[in-house]
Chain A
């Protein structure tokens, strides 16, 4: 069966992260690592800038991290109007220690008390919905 995100493709960026979304839609959290020098490559790309390899492996990880930074959106912005009823909502940039501290974004879930830089978070995967532009998503929740 075709993946939802593939039918609602957002274009314009590097565009090497299809497997990230595919894995999320299948219910797993995967990030990309160079098959040759094992450097975590995020955002995903087409060639490893460290060693020149063109091969990457997608490693399944437990979605656990630390808050690197965040913002609470207090306005419904033009291209994310699907979330206008959720305003204010928090988006977290989480560092993933198991993947060389690469940073992965996600909308916060659950209690916001205790939200601060450095706080531990755990991720949960949500299926595609109009709010996430028919992409699957990872949401970060405080893991105090």
Chain B
């Protein structure tokens, strides 16, 4: 157990609509302001009282630009988690620490994205850190680089295509019940999946997340303050970040966890710090930049072994309300929309509140995993008051 366990809670969520990439009627900064003000309204907090700002990766809507529009009385803490989508749950770690150490009282964790005409998401997301070893050899996109991992996961470790398809079907099924999901009207069946164009083998179109324009925000306060606010708090039980020896910037030289998500040690810390294990989790939002990487994340978290992936990853097991491990219940990165994973935390919170459109009845422990296969990653477990 760690000191961080239950010290802070998520009390507000805000999300703009998801727009097709490059078509947002509003610029990125304005989307960020909308998501933050919504989160404050949801929590019953005066937006001017937000004094901490945390984001991750290549976020451009920095607090200095937000403050004048939010009417911020005082910004006392601002921080960005390094790397890409791997930083998503680590934002909760940073926010908890800021609150525990008295550096901030109300922390907004947010991510906003709207592609300009010349700054496409997949270029900005890469942050100019794709090495010559990739680019010289025709590799640019995370889709291609993660396809290398997927090929290994499937061909060498024997994870079947059916496991990938099950995550797609579950995601789009959940999206179809979520009026805010960008992919809610997509028909998904065997034929649609199999006939979709190949992107980078073994990934077909629907194995990849859909990039959108949107913003999302959650508000973090101390456990004490959370008790008096409008919403049922989602307590942050653990949110470890990092990577192991043999990980980091190694250009496909990762050892020994090449084909999964690189989250084995993170998950071990998560269970140790929270006092729970994979069998206790009610619902999981699994980051799926690409779905095989999400399967790797579930392996790393101990939900099943590599050789059990085919038997575990079925539509029935992965869907709410009664699957063994309902995942991505808003539709997730594949079906709801993708703004660098930031849609996952609000949905994990809705599950604790009992307010998801694909609710798992009585959900008390809600997992959010970070960008799998990122140079560094993170994971987080949220819990209802009973889990403290």
Q: Which residues from chain A sit less than 8 Å from chain B, CB to CB?
A: 5, 10-14, 17, 21, 42-43, 68-75, 77-80, 83, 86, 88-89, 91, 93, 102-107, 116-117, 132-133, 135, 137
Contact = CB atoms under 8 A, between A and B. Distances in A.
Q: Looking at B138, B140, B249, B253, which has the most chain A CB atoms within 10 Å of its CB?
A: B138
Given A43-B250, A83-B138, A107-B137, A71 B131 contact: no
Contact of B132 (A71, A77, A107, A133): A133
Interface stretch (B100-108, B122-130, B269-277): B122-130
Contact of A70 (B120, B132, B148): B148
A74 B201 contact: yes
B134 A105 contact: yes
B100 to A, nearest CB: 33
A133 B148 CA distance: 21
A79 B135 contact: yes
A78 B123 contact: yes
A137 B136 contact: yes
B159 to A, nearest CB: 13
Nearest to A92: B137
A68 B152 contact: yes
Interface residues of B, number: 41
A133 B135 contact: yes
Contacts of B250: 43
Nearest to A71: B147
Contacts of A105: 133-134, 137, 139, 251-252
10 contacts: A12-B131, A13-B131, A68-B252, A78-B122, A78-B141, A79-B135, A86-B138, A103-B251, A105-B133, A105-B139
B135 A80 contact: yes
B19 to A, nearest CB: 20
Nearest to B151: A69
Given A12-B130, A13-B129, A43-B251, A74 B199 contact: yes
B249 A14 contact: yes
B144 A77 contact: yes
